[in-house]
Amino acid sequence: MAHTKTSFVCLPCRASYKQQYGDVHAGARERPCPRCTRPLVHAGSAFAAPRRRDTAAWRTLAVLLHAGVRFHKCRCGGPHFRPRTPGEVRERMAHARRTGESFAASLVRRELP
């Protein structure tokens, strides 16, 4: 039976790699980037990488991944909305600071009150 693959991202290289999610690298906690050997970040199975030269999209993605937001296919993985521009990220982060809501919850909120 084929194992499912999921996306891992190297933010400094702006690269995405599909790899098996199981214990393929037994004993290894972090997966190294094939280019720079820095640790890869798990992005989820429904992740679609932006173009490498789109720096604004990669900055937005970095904020999302560092806040713990992932891209999964099933509905159990969370809401389907993700901010796409740095402006959307800034307004959601300001909302989180004002209200005390967590950054991750504020980032995936479809509309701000």
**Which tokens hold the place of 82?**
């993700």
- Using a 10 angstrom Cβ sphere, with 0-12 exposed, 13-18 middle and 19 or more buried, the burial of residue 102 is exposed
11, 43 contact by CB (below 8 A): no
The confidence score (pLDDT) of residue 23 equals 55
- Per-residue pLDDT of 19-64, as tens digits, reads 887 654 445 568 899 999 999 999 988 888 999 999 999 999 999 9
Distance CA 93, CA 112 (A): 11
Residue ranges of the domains in the chain?
5-23+30-107
Inform me whether the pLDDT recorded for 12 exceeds 70.
Answer: yes
Inform me whether the pLDDT recorded for 17 exceeds 90.
Answer: yes
